[in-house]
């Protein structure tokens, strides 16, 4: 079935009402292994199980759509001194595709890691469009004091590879808060 043109406001609520939309929340308990300070993870879990980010995504919008898209809100805060972040993934080799990010609100960093181990960071701020090319893993980090809200869009056929990030022990650097400043520190668990 062909997809009809459509438009929507850039809000979680509006996207959640579109055909094919799904929504979800990722709690710290689902992301505990991505943080470096496991004692801080345990303490945060004892105090509750905070939601680190919410998302709403639309795949196969209205039929045979070739693009998927979604809005993600990473809530502000740290686990220990490490800022809240997404798990991060590569796109699976056989069906890899590029991905676009658009900063909508808040402030953060996009971490990028190539399959050959090249590492880059790019700031996400409202109105900035970021292009994530084929073969680069991507993770987003909220370094601000409000929700980091961003839109992403990717080819519908894309499948995700989370295992490679797990195998590498995460990304080469961690994004930490030190005296109110954002700093990048080496991740001792990372292996190329």
Q: Which residues bind Fe ion (CB under 5 A)?
A: 99
Smallest distance from Fe ion to CB 120, Å: 16
Smallest distance from Fe ion to CB 38, Å: 26
Three-class DSSP labels, the chain? CCCCCCCCCCCHHHHHCCCCEEEEEEEHHHHHHHCCCHHHHHHHHHCCCCEEEEEEEECCCCCCCCEEEEEEEECCCEECCEECECCCEEECHHHCCCEEEEEEECCEEEEEEECCCCEEEEEECCCCEEEECCCEEEEEEECCCCCEEEEEEEECCCCEECHHHHHHCCCCEEEEEECCEEEEEECCCCCC
Smallest distance from Fe ion to CB 15, Å: 17
Smallest distance from Fe ion to CB 99, Å: 5
Smallest distance from Fe ion to CB 160, Å: 6
Which residue number, 47 or 94, has a Cβ lying nearer to Fe ion?
94
Which residue number, 44 or 68, has a Cβ lying nearer to Fe ion?
68
Which residue number, 82 or 99, has a Cβ lying nearer to Fe ion?
99
Which residue number, 86 or 176, has a Cβ lying nearer to Fe ion?
86
Closest residue to Fe ion, judged by C-beta, is 99
Which residue number, 41 or 149, has a Cβ lying nearer to Fe ion?
149
């Amino acid at each position: 079935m062909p997809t009809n043109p459509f438009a929507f406001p850039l809000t979680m609520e509006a996207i959640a009402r579109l055909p094919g939309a799904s929504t979800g929340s990722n709690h710290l308990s689902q992301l505990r292994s991505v943080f470096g300070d496991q004692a801080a993870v345990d303490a945060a879990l004892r105090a509750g199980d905070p939601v680190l980010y919410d998302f709403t995504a639309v795949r196969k919008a209205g039929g045979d759509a070739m693009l998927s898209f979604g809005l993600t809100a990473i809530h502000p805060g740290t686990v220990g001194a490490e800022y809240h972040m997404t798990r991060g993934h590569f796109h699976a080799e056989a069906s890899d595709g590029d991905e676009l990010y658009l900063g909508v609100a808040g402030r953060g960093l996009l971490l990028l890691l190539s399959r050959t181990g090249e590492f880059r960071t790019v700031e996400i701020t409202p109105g900035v469009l970021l292009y994530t090319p084929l073969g680069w893993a991507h993770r987003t980090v909220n370094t601000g004091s409000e929700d980091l809200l961003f839109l992403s869009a990717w080819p519908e056929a894309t499948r995700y590879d989370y295992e490679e990030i797990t195998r590498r022990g995460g990304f080469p650097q961690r994004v930490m808060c030190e005296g109110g400043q954002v700093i990048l520190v080496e991740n001792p668990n990372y292996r190329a």
